[in-house]
């Protein structure tokens, strides 16, 4: 290796690296659209109540140029708001039908109107002449700055005549890449963008599997020291990248204003990100949990467990994780890595071969609904569905010796039957398909009973472990009305809160337990397994009940 004694003289053609424009940005950028200039500004008005950083999607307007005077007025009135102007062309996934020159012109004018950042898609950057790009970058943004120390105070009081002064600054150029199909070659894409030395780099792909999030997070980890970068995977499977991106160095993430649906698939609202996922508090020490399933978005586990983490001051976040295979699940769990997870349909059984060890009920039922990462980096499986059935009952009665009918022979029924037999109950499996009832009863040391015999047997408890009565299920009742003969009815279905079976029992004066209790109790035990501390049960129950009631009201 050569040793250099003299500093090397720079060749004349070697340019100094560009000094990047660094804006002070909030971690959330709210994307704002409108069908008319007035609607865009109206939506921007509501967005700035939630965040001081907004993206104005000029390409959502039929004539973007018409909005520029209103944008200027709006930004002058809202000192401290940072606006990013986007006018993406149709060929590149946006809504703008004009030419490249027209796009560049609108972005330059938007900057003159006060937008401190402009987004140019990579296809446009590559299509433009160097001089055209330089013209755009040379635009000076005139913004009002509060003369009072502390911009936020100035911003608020500017309406009341507080002193402000005008400031000029170079516009920040963001160059963006969007892949609406998949997540591939992200590093190459980033290099393609970085060749232009933009102030901000934005790489957006589409997640087809959970592991795609790992590629996005890896990109951020590797590049964020040298580039001001945003990287996101769109789609329901990409939620991990939206929430954890800033932790890996992403400068911000995109969100939809709370009242809207969002401008990109998988985009979350500002409210959900802040209140639900406590996005701004996520740091290197935050433990990651989630529920794996397919579907996953309707699961109430994220709401319940995030509520519990917040109440108990646990630095953790719980995400809905739509998995396409058990391999996808295991890869994300181990490589993210995650501290624990809830497992739901259809992975409860498939996950077993990946476990280093499991509790007795997972072994017996052949299904795990809970994972914990051991200190050895291995996966441990638990079945807390059993506790979900047993705990609500043992609070009300002595289970040992009780006569209990379990309707169904699927996964939920297995948890109930094995759990109750272990407590000493006399359990009768009642199922539409008799062979399945016989097989389960034999394995669990329970008995079987034909449905038409239920009327004659006086059961202490009748448990519904079929999907009958569940929202969207065709069958309302899991048995004929005259077959109901029990001292207590426990319906494991929790949506709706009051199922036809619960209604029937109530009408007959029979005490009931709703599936909500099972759902919360299985979650309570999960929380205890993950954190080794008591769960805030009442808080968890309240959050889930409230969400179910709200959903019912919305449905009308």
Residues engaged in binding ligand ATR (CB under 6 A):
408-413, 431-433, 436, 465-468, 475, 478
Instruction: Give CA–CA dist 457/447, Å, rounded.
Output: 13
Nearest distance from C-beta of residue 414 to ligand ATR, angstroms: 8
- Cα 184 to Cα 204: distance, rounded to the nearest angstrom: 10
Q: Could you list the beta-strand ranges (E) of 367-520.
A: 370-373, 379-382, 403-407, 426-430, 447-448, 459-464, 486-491, 512-513
Q: From residue 424, give the alpha-carbon distance in Å to each of 230, 367, 391.
A: 57, 21, 14
Nearer to ligand ATR, 272 or 485 (CB): 485
Q: Which is nearer to ligand ATR, 91 or 475 (CB)?
A: 475
Pair 258, 269: CB distance under 8 Å: yes
Instruction: For the CB of residue 471, give the shortest distance to ligand ATR in the complex, in Å.
Output: 14
Nearer to ligand ATR, 195 or 475 (CB): 475
Cβ atoms of residues 497 and 519 within 8 Å: no
To the nearest whole angstrom, how small is the minimum distance from the Cβ of residue 441 to ligand ATR?
12
For residues 254 and 244, give the distance between their C-alpha atoms in angstroms, rounded to a whole number. 12
In angstroms, give the least distance from the CB of 388 to ligand ATR. Answer: 12
Nearer to ligand ATR, 93 or 467 (CB): 467
- Residue 8 is classified by DSSP as P
Q: Which is catalytic among the residues 348, 447, 453, 456?
A: 348
- Using CB positions, name the residue nearest to ligand ATR: 410
CB-facing half-sphere around the CA of 186: CA atoms within 13 A: 26
Query: Which C-beta is closer to ligand ATR: that of 154 or that of 515?
Result: 515
**CA pair distance 226, 199, nearest whole angstrom:** 11
CA angle 492, 493, 499 (to 5 degrees): 120
DSSP string, 485-548: -EEEEEE---SSSS-HHHHHHHHTT--EE-HHHHHHHHHHHHHHHHHSS---HHHHHHHHHHHH
Give least dist CB 436 to ligand ATR, A: 4
Closer by beta carbon to ligand ATR, 143 or else 344? 344
For ligand ATR, which is the closer residue by CB, 73 or 453? 453
CB of 464 to ligand ATR, least distance (A): 9
Least CB distance to ligand ATR at residue 492 (A)? 8
DSSP line for 314-363:
--EEEEEEE-SSHHHHHHHHHHTT-SEEEE-TT-TTTTGGG-SEE-HHHH
The verdict on whether 348 is a catalytic residue reads yes
Say which residues have a Cβ less than 8 Å from residue 65's Cβ, sequence separation at least 6: 106, 109
Please give the positions annotated as active site.
348
């Amino acid at each position: 290796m050569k040793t250099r004694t003299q500093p090397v003289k720079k060749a004349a053609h070697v340019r100094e690296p560009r000094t990047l424009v660094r804006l002070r940005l909030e971690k959330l950028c709210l994307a704002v659209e409108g069908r008319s200039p007035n609607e865009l500004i109206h939506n921007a008005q509501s967005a700035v109540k939630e965040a001081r950083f907004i993206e104005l999607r000029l390409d959502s307007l039929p004539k973007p140029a018409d909005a520029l005077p209103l944008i200027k007025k709006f930004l002058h009135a809202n000192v401290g708001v940072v606006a990013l102007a986007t006018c993406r062309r149709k060929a590149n996934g946006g809504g703008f039908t004009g030419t490249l020159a027209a796009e560049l012109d609108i972005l330059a004018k938007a900057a003159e109107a006060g937008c401190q950042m402009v987004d140019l898609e990579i296809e446009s950057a590559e299509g433009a002449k160097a001089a055209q790009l330089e013209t755009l970058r040379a635009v000076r943004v005139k913004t009002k700055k509060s003369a009072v120390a502390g911009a936020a105070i100035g911003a608020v009081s500017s309406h009341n005549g507080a002193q402000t002064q005008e400031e000029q600054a170079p516009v920040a150029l963001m160059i963006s890449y969007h892949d609406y199909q998949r997540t591939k070659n992200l590093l190459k894409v980033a290099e393609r963008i970085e060749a232009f030395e933009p102030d901000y780099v934005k790489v957006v792909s589409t997640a087809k599997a959970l592991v795609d999030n790992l590629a996005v997070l890896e990109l951020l980890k590797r590049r964020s020291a040298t580039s001001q970068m945003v990287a996101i995977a769109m789609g329901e499977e990409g939620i991990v990248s939206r929430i954890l991106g800033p932790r890996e160095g992403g400068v911000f993430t995109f969100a939809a204003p709370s009242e809207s649906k969002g401008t990109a698939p998988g985009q979350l609202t500002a409210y959900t990100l802040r209140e639900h996922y406590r996005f701004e508090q996520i740091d290197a020490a935050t433990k990651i949990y989630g529920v794996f399933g397919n579907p996953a978005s309707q699961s109430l586990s994220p709401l319940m467990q995030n509520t519990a983490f917040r109440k108990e001051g646990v630095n953790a976040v719980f995400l809905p994780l739509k998995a396409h295979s058990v391999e996808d699940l295991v890869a994300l769990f181990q490589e993210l890595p995650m501290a624990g997870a809830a497992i739901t349909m259809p992975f409860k059984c498939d996950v077993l071969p990946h476990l280093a060890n499991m509790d007795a009920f997972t072994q017996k039922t052949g299904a795990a609904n809970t994972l914990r990462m051991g200190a050895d980096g291995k996966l441990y499986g638990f079945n807390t569905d059993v506790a979900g059935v047993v705990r609500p009952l043992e609070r009300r009665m002595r289970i040992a010796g009780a006569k209990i009918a379990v309707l169904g022979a699927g996964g939920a029924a297995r948890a109930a039957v094995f759990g109750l037999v272990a407590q000493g109950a006399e359990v009768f499996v009642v199922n539409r398909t008799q062979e399945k009832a016989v097989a389960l009863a034999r394995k669990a040391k329970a008995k079987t009973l034909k449905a038409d015999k239920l009327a004659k047997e006086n059961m202490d408890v009748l448990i519904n472990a079929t999907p009958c009565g569940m929202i969207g299920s065709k069958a309302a009742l899991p048995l004929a009305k005259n077959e109901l003969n029990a001292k207590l009815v426990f319906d494991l279905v929790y949506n709706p809160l009051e199922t036809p079976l619960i209604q029937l029992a109530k009408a007959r004066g029979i005490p009931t337990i709703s599936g909500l209790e099972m759902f919360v109790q299985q979650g309570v035990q999960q929380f205890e397994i993950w954190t080794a501390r008591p769960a805030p049960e009442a808080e968890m129950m309240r959050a889930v009940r409230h969400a179910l009631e709200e959903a019912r009201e919305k449905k009308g």
